[in-house]
Amino acid sequence: MKLRKVTAASAAVLALALTATACGSDDKDSDSADTGSGGSKKITIGIKFDQPGIGQKTPQGYEGFDVDVATYVAKQLGYSANQIQWKEAKSADRETMLQRGDVDFIAASYSINDERAAKVDFAGPYLLAHQDVLIRADDDSIKTPKDLNDKKLCSVTGSTSAQNVKDKLAPKAQLQEYPTYSACLTGVQSGQLDALTTDDSILAGYAAQANFKGKFKLGGFKMTNENYGIGVKKGSDLKAKIDTALEKMVADGAWEKAVTANFGPANYKNEPAPKIGNIVK
Ligand code: GLU
């Protein structure tokens, strides 16, 4: 299902197809909704590829909390796991990917905020995280967020993390913006950078990676509230369907299972499941 530019006639057909999909969404056997006249259908979902515990491409496939949430949602929309096409959605590209119709939805550590909500719609939220810092384990010079002000700090272009540093958290820090968090991590490891800042949910996953054991620590600062939503194209009727799917995921225990499976290994202490539509400022 690609929501590309459509004519009025094909929009009507598309609307019907979506309705049909929704009707089938409660079936235990979701395959019944997959065998439409158009042959094998696909859904395209944007995730992160380099965030262990959240969204990661591995030799075995795709893993992480966002991957599990997206897979559950896709199933509710009538798509089985093998009908999902995963696409990398880097922080700076997410709104454009949705606006262009490159993906049907995005679950990629994607914080809901007003600026983004002017361009795309959000279902959720489905996780509440907080901005934190990751530093080398032997670094005792960063004890409070204020200590970041004369440091070489790294974050990602187009992220709320970079924006928050500039706006309020540490305006005097020497902020470097990279395309991905994994690129920042290499710099912190080598000593070229002092700290990496983004959501604690992401940083916990990096610090717990087998090859980094004992090398990094988190500040534990909880500097902001990051309400993760699922992004869809503005005006898409997928928003309401995804909200329903997320509610079901929490109610039937699949949300908690995904939390344990993905955040357990990193020992990340997550917040309880958010209520749909309840954004913590
Ligand atoms: N959640 C924040 C954001 O959406 C930071 C993580 C990310 O860049 O994906 O900007």
Rg (CA), the chain: 19
From the CB of 51, is ligand 1 less than 6 Å away? no
For 29, residues 6+ apart whose C-beta sits below 8 A from its C-beta are: none
From the CB of 21, is ligand 1 less than 6 Å away? no
* pLDDT at position 2 over 90: no
CB 108 within 8 A of CB 59: no
Neighbours of 234 (CB within 10 A): 14
From the CB of 159, is ligand 1 less than 6 Å away? yes
Q: Which atom of ligand 1 is nearest to the CA of 110?
A: 4
* pLDDT at position 32 over 60: no
CATH architecture of the domain formed by 43-129+227-266: 3-Layer(aba) Sandwich (3.40)
For 30, residues 6+ apart whose C-beta sits below 8 A from its C-beta are: 24, 75, 76, 78, 79, 80
CB 159 within 8 A of CB 183: no
According to the model, what pLDDT value does residue 1 have? 52
From the CB of 109, is ligand 1 less than 6 Å away? yes
Neighbours of 35 (CB within 10 A): 10
Tell me how far the alpha carbon of residue 228 lies from the centroid of ligand 1, in angstroms. Answer: 8
From the CB of 224, is ligand 1 less than 6 Å away? no
Q: What is the rounded average pLDDT of the residues 9-29?
A: 41
Tell me how far the alpha carbon of residue 18 lies from the centroid of ligand 1, in angstroms. Answer: 29
Which of 51, 110, 119 for mutating ligand 1's site (highest number of atoms within 8 Å of CB)? 110
* pLDDT at position 24 over 50: no
Question: What ranges do the domains of the chain cover?
Answer: 43-129+227-266, 131-218
Task: Report the candidate in 140, 145, 147, 139 with the shortest Cα–Cα distance to residue 161.
Answer: 145
DSSP 8-state code for residue 166: I
Span 97-155, pLDDT tens digits: 999 999 999 999 999 999 999 999 999 999 999 999 999 999 999 999 999 999 999 99
From the CB of 110, is ligand 1 less than 6 Å away? yes
Q: Which atom of ligand 1 is nearest to the CA of 48?
A: 9
What percentage of the chain exceeds 90 in pLDDT? 85
From the CB of 71, is ligand 1 less than 6 Å away? no
Pick the CATH number of 131-218 from 3.40.30.160, 3.40.190.10, 3.50.50.60, 3.10.20.30: 3.40.190.10
According to the model, what pLDDT value does residue 40 have? 82
* Residue 6: both structure tokens together: 């459509």
- Same fold yes or no, 43-129+227-266 and 131-218: yes
> Considering the entire predicted model, what is its pTM?
0.87
Tell me the C-alpha distance between 86 and 62, whole Å. Answer: 8
From the CB of 161, is ligand 1 less than 6 Å away? yes
Tell me how far the alpha carbon of residue 70 lies from the centroid of ligand 1, in angstroms. Answer: 17
From the CB of 227, is ligand 1 less than 6 Å away? no
From the CB of 160, is ligand 1 less than 6 Å away? yes
Span 36-51, pLDDT tens digits: 445 589 999 999 999 9
Phi, psi at 193, each rounded to 5°? -125, 155
Tell me the C-alpha distance between 278 and 93, whole Å. Answer: 25
